[in-house]
Amino acid sequence: MSEFTNLKYPVSSTLTSVGTIAAPASGKAHVVIGINVANTHATDTTAIDVTVNDGSTDTYIAKNVSIPAGGSLGLLTGKVVLVTGDIVKAKFTGGAADLVLSLLKDA
């Protein structure tokens, strides 16, 4: 059965998985319906990269997007489908950031 969920992660300064997203059930996929990033640093601007990795290749959703201190940004205007083996990765440069990934699991 499909379910909506929000996954919340602090973003690292290296491009790493934003957390464990269980693989979809057989014949199913996860649908990412939103990615929101907040700069949690009080004074520094941060730049964010977000990718989907299929097991071998990183495909950018956002690359070097600047977010001012205390600001936030929604990164998706559409939806992204994740199939078994896909991993969402993120990193920041300068400042600090949190990421919220909203998805429909097992769609």
pLDDT string in tens for the chain (107-residue length): 789 988 888 887 766 666 656 667 778 899 999 999 999 999 999 999 998 888 899 999 999 999 999 999 999 989 999 988 888 888 888 888 899 999 999 88
103 near 9, Cβ under 8 Å? no
- pTM for this entry: 0.85
Residue found under tokens 């700069």: 39
**DSSP assignment of the chain:** --EEEEEEEEPPSS-EESS--PPPPTT--EEEEEEEEEE--SS--EEEEEEEE-SS-EEEEEEEEEE-TT-EEE--SS-EEE-TT-EEEEEEESS-EEEEEEEEET-
